[in-house]
Amino acid sequence: MVTLDTSAQPTDSGRGKTGIAPPPTMKRGREMLPLVRRATAALVLFWLCLVAALGWWISQRVATQWSQSQASSAAYEAETTARVVDRLFTQMVSVANMVASQSQVIQLATRYREDQPGAEALTRQQRAAQFTTDPLVRKVGDFMDALASDLRYARIYQNNLSDDTVTASNWAAPDSIVGMIYAGRIYLNNALRDGSGHSFGIARINKTPSYFVASRIDDANDEVQGSVTVKFDAPDMAHYLTGRHIALIVNRQGRVTTSSSEPFMLRNVAAMLPAGVLHPSDDDDGEALGDAMDIHPVAANGIADQWLVDGKPYVMKRQPLNNTHYQLLTLASLEPLAAIREQHLWTAVLVAAVGTVLILLSCHILGQMVVRRQDEKYAAMLTSALNANLSTALSDAQTKERQKVEVLGYIGHDLRAPLATIKGYSELLLADAPPKQQGLVKTIQRSVKYQLDLIDELLEYAKSELQPLAVRPAPIDLQALLDDISDYAVSLCAQQNNHFHCHVSGALPRRIAMDGKRLQQVLLNLVSNAAKFTRDGVVTLTVNARQEGEFCVLHISVSDTGIGIDLAQKPDIFDAFQQIQAEGGSTGLGLFISQRILMAMGGSLEVSSTAGQGTTFSFELDVPVIDGSGAAPASGPPAAGGWPGQPARPAVATVAAVAPPGDAALDELAELALHGRLTDIEGWINHHANGTAHAAFTAALLDRLEQFDFAGIRSLALHSKGSGSAGTAPQSAP
């Protein structure tokens, strides 16, 4: 084994001792620092340029997509709002035509076709008094008032050829316009001339911007008798201009007649309209141009119709109306775009700063790594040597661990011999024991067999090195198994003056397929725990059998009247080395092992308990039925002769003729079996029974040896003497 001086330091003298030196071309770590610094500066510059270029591109793309989204939204909103406004104007024309065609309206227009001479010299109130004395004037006025209220019009009124107002929807109001002469109104002149007229203007009385639609009144001879006007105030129409964006109704001179935003109302936005749409101002129409807004076109993000209106950016969508006097403009604000760009800028700055810090930190770490590169080489060499030493130590530890397992196997192996001797002598005692003592001797034999089974598990552990507990189903007699467990339970319960009861409900099947040894181990663990924590009480084993097809469902419980468990504290009683009470001297493995066994058999251990009143452990198993013919249910400890209905089990069976060795060898074998000398018997087999002539005898002998049936081995040896090449021998019952 190589010895290393672990105290050596990675110095020049150390390199001389170990004989390891770097190549001449290899630079020391501190010589690489200038190169690392230059690379760091270049990387930082590249990162900043990358973030700037990529951030600008992403910001432009996001801004363009957002602007396009605003433009699409404005276009859709312009289209839908235009349909609403067109419907409003169409409705005004229809209402004016409908009122003008009413018979009473025509009758009233014919009656007051022109003012009487001298009417112009009268005041409005005097003319109104003359008109309203006529019941027909009041009736038509009431009709107009009801219609205007339903349709939310400002008013509806009727004029004669002298432009005098004959009746109106507000004829009875203090601010009635009856008797008012509207001379020079272009919409009235157009209506009388062309049949209909349109105009926008400021009302004289309430100074409200309004739309006026007039329709001519003709009599049956198509002679002009007057006109009917529908007035719709702009603020009322603005209620229909709802949406996310600003909607403007603009006349042919670019004046905003209705707006969903107050700053645009009655302002002039002609700069945003195409030249072919604008119409020069006509002083006769009475419409003013309004104050012009500060409007400039903007070309950005590849989107048309972007405008700067009074310093604020908008994208505009224009929609012509069916009424050719007006256009609908929808303005989507682009002001949030500045905040979005600012957010992008700060995000880019943050990313650039974080990236720069990470680059500087990484390069600093890289520089430190370069500086320590040579030291790390020596550390790697020392680590390699240390790993070799650790591997050697680990190998030694594994060897010692294996030796411990082997010693455990040897101990378990040699423990079987004295137990086998006890078993052999107990069989001799059983042969001469009186009937009253035979039951006790049989109990001793079963205890010995149980201990031998546990030693087998110890050997299995030694062989498999803590492999999981194996479950090997085999045909068993369930009633006989309960018989054995009850015998043990009576003895365990008597130690602290407890009574044991066994209750069986349902017909037990005769034979089932399961690991009887494991089931016995579980039940004895549970009964032992119950007896340990119960004094002057009762321990009860309850078995309920229920047939389900080819399977039998066994519900088994062990209950006691002992100290109980406080389950409210949630103790982990099924964990290894967990003790319910500090007293009792238990290792805390019984319930853990029982739970593992039951889980391997397809069940699970359940517990119910009340502190001071007792505990019940229960589980349920589904087992295949081999022989379903069962005895009647029984309860209580079984009699010495077995459970009711159980036939007597044969104690001896015969084996086929075998060819034994000579009589002297058989006498030696009988002597070894009498004293339970397991190792010597194995040596005897290797010496005397390894030939083909003794194959059958050797098989029978090995079968008994595997069961540690030393009495059977002795009986086989004695009965085979003098049989020549073949003989018969009795075989102990399993």
Concatenating the DSSP letter of every residue in 315-333 gives EEEEEE-SSTTEEEEEEEE
Confidence tier at 583 by pLDDT (50, 70, 90): very low
Contact predicate 116/164, CB 8 Å: no
pLDDT at residue 168 in the model = 93
| Better-predicted residue by pLDDT, 340 or 22 | 340
Q: Is residue 730 scored above 50 in pLDDT?
A: no
Q: Give CA torsion, residues 210, 216, 217, 221, to 10 deg.
A: 180
pLDDT at residue 349 in the model = 94
Q: Is residue 579 scored above 60 in pLDDT?
A: no
Residue 96, H or E segment: helix 33-100
pLDDT at residue 647 in the model = 37
| Better-predicted residue by pLDDT, 209 or 398 | 209
pLDDT tens, position by position, 214-248: 999 998 888 999 999 999 988 888 888 888 899 99
CA nearest to 309, candidates 271, 278, 265, 277: 271
Dist CA 632 CA 509 (whole Å): 10
- Mean of pLDDT over the chain: 80
Structure tokens at 13: 């003298």
What separation, in Å, do the N-terminal and C-terminal C-alpha atoms of the chain show?
56
Domains of the chain listed by start with CATH number: 70-337 (3.30.450.20), 387-464 (1.10.287), 474-646 (3.30.565.10), 653-732 (no CATH)
| Better-predicted residue by pLDDT, 643 or 474 | 474
pLDDT at residue 205 in the model = 66
- For 482-500, what is the mean pLDDT? 87
Residue 493 has a CB neighbour count (10 Å cut-off) of 22
Structure tokens at 152: 């939310």
Q: Is residue 331 scored above 80 in pLDDT?
A: yes
pLDDT at residue 463 in the model = 58
Q: What is the CA angle 190-192-198, rounded to 5?
A: 35
Residue 16's φ and ψ, nearest 5 degrees, are: -65, -35
Contact predicate 607/573, CB 8 Å: yes
pLDDT at residue 51 in the model = 92
Dist CA 382 CA 425 (whole Å): 65
CA 63 to each of CA 48, 51, 331, 334: distance values in angstroms, whole numbers, following the listed order? 22, 17, 17, 10
Model's pTM, two decimal places?
Answer: 0.44
- Say which range, 114-123, 154-163, 184-193, 639-648, has the weakest mean pLDDT: 639-648
Residue 564 DSSP code: -
pLDDT tens, position by position, 702-727: 777 766 677 888 888 888 887 644 33
pLDDT at residue 287 in the model = 61
Q: Is residue 470 scored above 60 in pLDDT?
A: yes
pLDDT at residue 378 in the model = 60
pLDDT at residue 561 in the model = 92
Confidence tier at 400 by pLDDT (50, 70, 90): confident
- For 137-143, what is the mean pLDDT? 93
- Say which range, 10-14, 137-141, 162-166, has the weakest mean pLDDT: 10-14
- For 281-286, what is the mean pLDDT? 52
Q: Is residue 441 scored above 50 in pLDDT?
A: yes
Per the listing, tokens 């939310």 go with: 152
Confidence tier at 676 by pLDDT (50, 70, 90): confident
Contact predicate 224/188, CB 8 Å: no
| Better-predicted residue by pLDDT, 634 or 228 | 228
- For 157-179, what is the mean pLDDT? 90
| Better-predicted residue by pLDDT, 460 or 596 | 596
pLDDT tens, position by position, 503-530: 999 888 888 988 888 898 899 889 988 9
CA nearest to 447, candidates 477, 478, 426: 426
- Say which range, 101-110, 205-214, 461-470, has the weakest mean pLDDT: 461-470
Structure tokens at 158: 């009727």
pLDDT at residue 464 in the model = 56
Confidence tier at 159 by pLDDT (50, 70, 90): very high
Concatenating the DSSP letter of every residue in 273-340 gives S-TTT-----GGG-----EEP-EEEEEETTEEEEEEETTEEEEEEEEE-SSTTEEEEEEEE-THHHHH
- For 604-619, what is the mean pLDDT? 90
Q: Over pLDDT 70: what percentage of the chain?
A: 79
| Better-predicted residue by pLDDT, 584 or 54 | 54
Confidence tier at 283 by pLDDT (50, 70, 90): very low
Confidence tier at 574 by pLDDT (50, 70, 90): low
- Say which range, 549-553, 582-586, 626-630, 647-651, has the weakest mean pLDDT: 647-651
pLDDT at residue 15 in the model = 44
Q: Is residue 95 scored above 90 in pLDDT?
A: yes
- For 202-209, what is the mean pLDDT? 74
- For 302-319, what is the mean pLDDT? 87
pLDDT tens, position by position, 23-46: 555 555 566 677 888 889 999 999
